[in-house]
Structures are given as C-alpha cells and as structure tokens.
C-alpha cells in the first residue's frame, strides 16, 4: 500500500509539473527572423485547450498574415516544439528558467536562429489627416512568368504623413504594412522591409496611374498601378 501511495504521489507531482510548464509558456511571444537582408517579425500566441494540451497560432506581422494555425505544439522538459503546416516549417526551442525567453531554430528550407520573447505587438495609431490627391486604392499586376500576381496598395494621409498597406489577393495576403511612404512631387516610393521589396513609380499628371517598378530581393519587374474607383 505504501508503494502504491508513493507512485500515486509521484504521478501527481509529474502532472503538476506538466501543468506548470504549460502555464509558463502560455501567452504572447515576439520574434524576428532574419534572412538575406529581410526581417520578418513574428507573433506567437500560445494557450491551453480544454484538455490541458497546448494550442497556438502565429502572425507574420510584416506580411499581414494573422492567425496561421500551429500544430502540433509540445513542451517537454522546457523544450518547445511546433510545426506550421501551412508554410511547411517548424520550430525547436528551449524556454529559459524564468519563462521569459525561448531560444531555438526555425526550419523552413533552411535552418535559421529564432528567439522569442514575451510581449505584445504594438499597434501604431495614426490620426487621420486631410486626404491627399493620391489617397485611395491602387491596383496593378506583375508578370511572374507563371501568371499575373495582383497587387493592391491602400494609401492614406495622416497627421504623421502618408501611410499604406498592401493586399496580394492571389496569395490570400491582406493588410501588409508598408514600412515607409516617400513622395516628392510626382515620384512615389513604397518600401516593404518585411518582404525585402518595394515599389518606385511616377504619378501621372491626371492622377489616374502610377507607372513604375516592383523590386524584391534583387529582382525588378514593371508594375503600373491604376486608381481603383470605389
């Protein structure tokens, strides 16, 4: 009877330890992947399912992709492992003793170091400004050699200046943040650091088109944006 009591007590300790690990890793985590001069900011959201197991989603903040399913995800002896089937990738890391940092490796075609730290992605609020003459949606397409990829830029003027986001409907991407918007007369430059790309073009005198070039990771393709009437 004493031996059975001992084993039951041991099992209870193990279960409690597992629950503690799950509790320590739940929450919001931020990390940055760096490759070929491109930085991708990620937000990992971990919670517990009804049965006590872990569940998670990940956001690729610079690509406007939110709520990407993660699974399965496990935490064993401070070692965190998960896969992201949607992008054919996976992560292996170790949670520090304080439960504040996860240090590990993201593998997707190649292995890259990726460290997550607790935190919530900051949302920058811009107060609306007087609409500029190029406020609105601008659509164009680039020829990838395998078809045309539609791109829609949404430009808005604020008290802080022009800001923009990008939608790529054919890839299911929406609201990708444009890092910087620079305008000098008829010249317009849109930079997207998270994609390692950007657009430079010239605004037509009648404000109906922006004729320019899309450049990404050293490759340039012509791109003409036309104003989309709502």
Report d(CA 38, CA 77) in Å as an integer: 33
At 133-184, the pLDDT tens digits run 999 999 999 998 888 999 999 999 999 899 999 999 988 888 888 989 999 9
Beginning with the edge strand found earlier in the chain, give each strand of the sheet holding 136-143 in spatial order. Answer: 173-177, 161-168, 148-158, 136-143, 219-228, 209-216, 197-203, 187-192, 180-184
pLDDT at 215: 95
3-state secondary structure of 145: coil
Q: Average model confidence (pLDDT) for the chain?
A: 86
Q: What class is the 136-228 domain?
A: mainly beta
Q: Where are the beta strands (DSSP E) in 5-135?
A: 27-35, 38-48, 54-60, 65-70, 73-76, 79-84, 89-95, 101-108, 110-118
Full-prediction pTM beyond 0.85?
Answer: no
CATH number corresponding to 24-118: 2.40.128.120
At 99-128, the pLDDT tens digits run 999 999 999 989 999 999 999 877 677 888
Q: What are the residue ranges of CATH 2.40.128.120 in the chain?
A: 24-118
79 bridge partner residues: 76, 94
């Amino acid at each position: 009877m004493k031996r059975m009591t001992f084993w039951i007590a041991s099992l209870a300790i193990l279960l409690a330890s597992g629950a503690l690990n799950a509790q320590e890793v739940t929450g919001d985590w931020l990390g940055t992947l760096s490759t070929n001069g491109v930085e991708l900011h990620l937000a990992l959201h971990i919670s517990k399912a009804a049965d006590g197991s872990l569940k998670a989603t990940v956001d690729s903040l610079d690509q406007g992709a939110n709520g990407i399913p993660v699974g399965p995800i496990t935490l064993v002896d401070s070692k965190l492992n998960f896969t992201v089937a949607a992008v054919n990738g996976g992560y292996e890391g170790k949670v520090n003793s304080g439960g504040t940092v996860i240090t590990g490796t993201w593998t997707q075609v190649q292995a890259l170091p990726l460290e997550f730290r607790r935190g919530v992605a900051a949302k920058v609020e811009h107060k609306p400004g007087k609409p500029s003459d190029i406020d609105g949606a601008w659509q164009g397409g680039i020829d990838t050699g395998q078809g045309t990829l539609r791109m829609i830029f949404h430009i808005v003027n604020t008290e802080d200046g022009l800001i923009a986001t990008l939608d790529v409907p054919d890839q299911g991407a929406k609201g990708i943040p444009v890092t910087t918007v620079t305008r000098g007369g008829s010249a317009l430059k849109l930079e997207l650091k998270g994609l390692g790309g950007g657009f430079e073009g010239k605004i037509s005198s009648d404000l109906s088109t922006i004729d320019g070039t899309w450049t990404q990771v050293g490759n340039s393709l012509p791109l003409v944006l036309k104003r989309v009437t709502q």
